[in-house]
Chain A
């Protein structure tokens, strides 16, 4: 224990008061910097676990006909490797960096919602434990990180592994959405006055854009997961062709999330490159506007092109053609970025310190990943290489070659800020070279393995010409990478204890985080330098030749909405994405009539009356808000109580309807109609209940005398959410109850 405190102490990470209760000080922290560090430590911990899994995979594949791992164990290990690396390493590491850096870069004291921030973080270790508990509960999932149906369904994976997998990803998904809402709200509402939107450092800008992608894409995965869980636990058949479901639907929904997910982890990496490369080239970034704008285009396109993951499914030439074209389009905005970074290097006075080395390698490797990506976007070539190690090599070039390298670059770059100490440059260079050699040995080789026909997702292989030695080379490379990782961890620990003091701005960088002390105090800044463009610290250091002023006039530049309202609107957007998937699922699965219960068994009149209660409650809550703004406290409470009453009546009505259906022998698994019906109305009902709880809390607060002096944004925020829940019911009611009468 004492050693830990000394380390933290020497690194200046504890105030004297906290020394005694250091563990509690970290566990209960709501400081964005500590939460950021906790995120990164969690990512590091799971990186070790995922890395060990990777080593097991490579050991098993090192030689032909290997029997180190049993087939099922191999499947578990490779499923857990993929899931861990994406959800428990890449995302937490990038969220950690975002958490630590965004408030500092925009001159804020903390995130917009510090406690939401802590909550989102703690969901990560919780989700990680849930996922890994499956090892003890009867076997980890063995279905791949994509969990293709019907393999992931009960008849083919009867053990609980998949259930834990789905639950863990749900938990992690909720945490990711929470963090992203928080990040957007932070950028919008907590910026320093003169930090206009057009002056944002590129890392913060990209995190800002990226967070929109997270709140749109993760709910899609969440919807897929609840459908899978309903299949597995309640005997439904969403994705089981046996019961009329559609396994392809799983792929559609999964990749509708899965493709944006690639960009969710890639865009922050782009942000890192955009920060590090200019500083070490001693030049402002070339074409800030193009780098910033192309990010929006990439985010936008990424939501549209998921079907290129499904060329081999057999969607038909027509569909393939459209997605070949649109996927190739992504090369344009990413190409713009690569060119902008390269142009930044041209003519710069380049300093090849470790952070820069990692970022330049990331740039080169990402270029290669992009080129193989274009080849995979051509459907005809995709058919030949999709199920081979060529694809494995391609996406590892993205995930490791770009993202892990960028993260390592970021950690070497910002470690001095976080700890107040420099990392050892000598060890850093060793780490870099070992990592780069190991990585390229491992994955360049795999391109050729794939072209030589080695399929992916196999636990062993025959001794075919070339396969044996190439696999061995790949395994050797993987162990070189492992050595590099160990060296990095050693460097972290050693430098924390004995590193050179860093000073505030060791790299002579230009963004605001370097204006704070290293490590920054709890409230971040004693004094902010004037911000008139994108490089405030350059202006500060070179008053005789400052950068030109940018981005000051527009209404949008200084846009700073109320934070509660902002957050609830973002939450509503993400919930809308979730419901959109469920509603589309309902429409898809009920497009053709099927035997068994149908929407004609529902009582339109009864539900209609209960629905009116819910719609009326939108009016009452609006009245309640008005009363509050007019200062009529009593009236506000009465209208609020009326809202709750109407909501309860609606839920009662829904309960009654469910009861009638159950009595008539209709249950979740009866047929696809009942499955989709109960899923959609059930999740809506759940949201009504959540709304009711929120309303009850607000009512309780007003009865206790809150909101008397100042108008509270809480009622407004809850009111917005309540309107949303009503609006969803308008759509659900029309879809389920009204639409069949118009057929």
Chain B
């Protein structure tokens, strides 16, 4: 199969995804109505489609570690952030035992999701077993939401202060970046399943290895680099947004005070 053919036929439509997506959309519209924030929700659905339906999903399914990494980043960092942004500002996300709302919990959820699913055995299992894969997808969305809640909770009160948020994002980025560095520079394979001959469902292997020049080593390198560089840019964008939020407070003309 050539690249062009694959881009057309590589879409993996799944009933479960469509059902969940439809129910979520229906729920969203009945609960919050059609308003400006619907755009964020639509974007979240669109990114989920890219991650879980588009050819990226097919590639992540046994062919390419780097595609898996892209999927991972989209599901952990982009989709949950967009979902939180889509909520109206009045929604409270306070959690019952107050300790669960601690920033450390959010931080560990975000960073832990990165590290946990790249333990070699788990990384392989998520590719080879359907239930584990489903568990991984759900856990990424949930943990990502827990992570972003500290930054993007609809209510200002439930968010970290901007400088705190900068430290939160910065340390999370460094800790995930270190994993990216390990994966990039490591002489051993992280997910060995991608180095084996996959079940070539699309007849694409020739194209990938020869046409695209994707050896397993280069594939892992790209995966690590995606985590090291572009992923950190997501955190950086969030940091810049936080600084903007901090400095955006309107200035009070001097005459009005004192």
Residues of A within 8 A of B (CB): 197-198, 216, 252, 289, 292-293, 296-297, 300-301, 303-304, 316, 318-319, 322-323, 325-326, 329, 532-533, 539, 546-556, 559, 580, 584, 587-588, 591-592, 742
Contact = CB atoms under 8 A, between A and B. Distances in A.
7 contacts: A300-B170, A300-B232, A316-B221, A533-B254, A548-B252, A548-B254, A584-B181
A322 B228 contact: yes
B225 A591 contact: no
A293 B163 contact: no
Interface stretch (B45-53, B124-132, B236-244): B236-244
A319 B228 CA distance: 11
Contact of B229 (A304, A553, A580): A304
Given A322-B225, A554-B161, A289 B186 contact: no
A580 B247 contact: no
B158 to A, nearest CB: 13
Contacts of B173: 300
B246 A554 contact: yes
A559 B249 contact: no
A228 to B, nearest CB: 19
Contacts of A198: 246-247, 249
Contact of A296 (B218, B243, B253, B254): B243
Interface string B139-181: 0000000000000000000000111101000100110011001
B218 A318 contact: yes
Contacts of B222: 318
Given A292-B247, A322-B228, A297 B239 contact: yes
Contacts of B182: 584, 587-588
B135 interface: no
Nearest to B188: A591
A297 B240 CA distance: 7
A532 B255 CA distance: 12
A559 B246 CA distance: 14
B57 interface: no
Contacts of B188: 591-592
Interface of B: 121, 161-164, 166, 170, 173-174, 177-178, 181-182, 184-188, 218, 221-222, 225, 228-230, 232-233, 236, 239-240, 243-244, 246-247, 249, 251-254, 257
Nearest to B252: A549
- Identify the 10 closest CB pairs spanning chains A and B, nearest first: A289-B247, A556-B161, A293-B243, A546-B254, A548-B251, A549-B252, A322-B225, A556-B163, A591-B188, A322-B229
Contact of A549 (B218, B230, B251): B251
A319 B184 CA distance: 9
A694 to B, nearest CB: 25
Contacts of B178: 580, 584
B246 A742 contact: no
A549 B257 contact: yes
A296 B163 CA distance: 11
Given A318-B221, A587-B182, A556 B246 contact: yes
A296 B174 contact: no
B233 A326 contact: yes
Nearest to B174: A303
A323 B251 contact: no
B107 to A, nearest CB: 14
Contacts of A329: 233
A664 B166 CA distance: 50
A252 B178 CA distance: 13
A539 B254 CA distance: 10
A556 B164 contact: yes
A546 B251 CA distance: 13
Contact of A559 (B163, B251, B252): B163
A122 B131 CA distance: 62
A548 B253 contact: yes
Given A304-B229, A304-B232, A588-B185, A296 B257 contact: no
Contacts of A325: 229
A519 B166 CA distance: 37
Nearest to A589: B187
Contacts of A580: 178
A500 B186 CA distance: 64
A548 to B, nearest CB: 4
Nearest to B175: A580
B123 to A, nearest CB: 13
Contacts of A539: 254
Given A292-B247, A293-B247, A319-B184, 8 more contacts: A297-B236, A304-B228, A533-B254, A551-B249, A556-B163, A556-B246, A587-B182, A742-B121
Nearest to B225: A322
B239 A323 contact: no
A293 B239 CA distance: 9
Contacts of A296: 166, 239-240, 243
A640 to B, nearest CB: 27
Nearest to B178: A580
A300 B185 contact: no
- Residue picked from B170, B182, B244, B254, most chain A C-beta under 10 Å: B254
Contacts of B228: 304, 322
Contacts of A587: 182, 186
B249 A554 contact: yes
A539 B255 CA distance: 12
A351 B14 CA distance: 70
Contacts of A297: 236, 239-240
B252 A300 contact: no
A594 to B, nearest CB: 12
B246 to A, nearest CB: 7
A319 B221 contact: yes
Nearest to A555: B161
A256 B187 CA distance: 19
Contacts of A216: 174
B242 to A, nearest CB: 9
Contacts of B163: 197, 556, 559
Contacts of B164: 556
A252 B185 contact: yes
Contacts of A554: 161-162, 246, 249
Contacts of A550: 249, 251-252
A588 B163 CA distance: 34
Nearest to B187: A591
Nearest to A317: B218
Contacts of B218: 316, 318
Contact of B240 (A293, A549, A559, A742): A293
A532 B258 CA distance: 10
Contacts of B246: 198, 554, 556
A323 B229 CA distance: 8
B252 A301 contact: no
Contact of B257 (A301, A318, A532, A559): A532
A203 B54 CA distance: 49
A549 B254 CA distance: 6
A316 B121 CA distance: 28
A418 B188 CA distance: 58
Contacts of A555: 161
A219 to B, nearest CB: 13
Contacts of A252: 185
Contacts of A300: 170, 173, 232, 236, 239
Contacts of B232: 300, 304
A304 B166 CA distance: 16
A204 B100 CA distance: 36
B177 A304 contact: yes
Contact of B236 (A301, A548, A549, A592): A301
Contacts of B249: 198, 550-551, 553-554
A373 B42 CA distance: 41
Nearest to B167: A212
Contacts of B221: 316, 318-319
Nearest to A301: B236
Nearest to A323: B229
B229 A556 contact: no
A74 to B, nearest CB: 35
A533 B253 CA distance: 11
